């Protein structure tokens, strides 16, 4: 079982909004649980429960700040428990599918400690930008 989520995987989304998850991702999420959450670039995030709790706990003491409360509304109000069925599929909440413009296909991307789910059109646009700017992005991380 990987300690990190890696790779981009293309899947069909069925009429009920269910999507298979890569077996290695599924194993980790079945063990730890997970949360669907709205993404920040027009995608959807899946966070293992420990990662979700870590992010929430990091801000919990700062709830007296307006921006933190706004983030909590965004994060909690657009989040749902992840349930994986016996066939390894998870149902993407319809509000998140609409927000991310996901219809019949989706790209499931491992991003280290969490997963992103993209529409193929948005993922293509994102990867073009990333490839074009990879060196500049890398140098700006210092």
The residues facing 90 across adjacent strands are 19, 84
CATH of 8-140, one of 2.40.50.180, 3.40.1550.20, 3.30.230.70, 1.10.1200.10: 3.40.1550.20
Token code pair at residue 131:
């490839």
CA atoms within 13 A on the CB side of 65: 7
pTM, entire model: 0.89
pLDDT surpasses 60 at 79:
yes
* C-alpha neighbours within 13 Å on the C-beta side of residue 85: 10
**Which 3 state secondary structure label does DSSP give 37?**
strand
- Percent over 90 (pLDDT), the chain: 65
The confidence score (pLDDT) of residue 1 equals 45
For the segment 78-104, the average pLDDT, to the nearest whole number, is 95
Distances (CA, A) of 36 to 6, 63, 69, 127, 130: 18, 22, 19, 22, 24
The pLDDT value given to residue 41: 93
């Amino acid at each position: 079982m990987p300690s990190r989520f890696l790779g981009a995987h293309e899947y069909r989304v069925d009429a009920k909004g269910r999507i298979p998850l890569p077996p290695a991702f599924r194993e980790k999420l079945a063990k730890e649980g997970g949360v669907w959450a709205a993404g920040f670039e027009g995608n959807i995030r899946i966070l293992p429960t420990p990662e979700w709790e870590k992010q929430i706990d990091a801000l919990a003491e700062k709830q007296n700040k307006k921006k933190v409360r706004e983030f909590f509304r965004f994060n909690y109000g657009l989040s749902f428990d992840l349930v994986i069925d016996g066939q390894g599929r998870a149902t993407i909440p319809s509000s998140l599918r609409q927000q991310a413009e996901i219809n019949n296909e989706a790209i499931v991307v491992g991003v280290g400690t969490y997963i992103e789910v993209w529409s193929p059109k948005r993922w293509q646009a994102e990867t073009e930008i990333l490839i074009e700017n990879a060196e500049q992005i890398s140098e700006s991380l210092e």
